[in-house]
Amino acid sequence: MNWISDNLGTIVVSIILLAIVAVILIRLVSNKRKGKSSCGCDCGCCPVGCRCHQYEKKQISRGLSGDHPDHS
């Protein structure tokens, strides 16, 4: 019991940090499932914006639909 009382501040801060990380991860997964971008910015401002959604653009231009072949 002494160990817990001696380290109570560290334990509380660790629990808070773990909760924050969990919320961030849940939100990232949720946004990914909804098809939203993880960066939240305009792709035109991104240095790799031309490559970011390259596969989807090719599928649309070819008139193809379906998932990426690696995601079967």
The long-range contacts involving 5-9, CB below 8 angstroms and separated by at least 24 positions, are none
- Give the chain as a DSSP string: -HHHHHTHHHHHHHHHHHHHHHHHHHHHHHHHHHT--SS-S-GGGSTTHHHHTHHHHHHHHHT--S--GGG-
Cα R_g (the chain), whole angstroms: 21
pLDDT of residue 71: 46
Tokens representing residue 33 in the block: 């499932």
14-58 confidence digits (pLDDT tens): 999 999 999 999 998 888 888 776 666 666 667 776 676 665 555
pTM: 0.53
Q: Looking at the chain, how many residues does it have?
A: 72
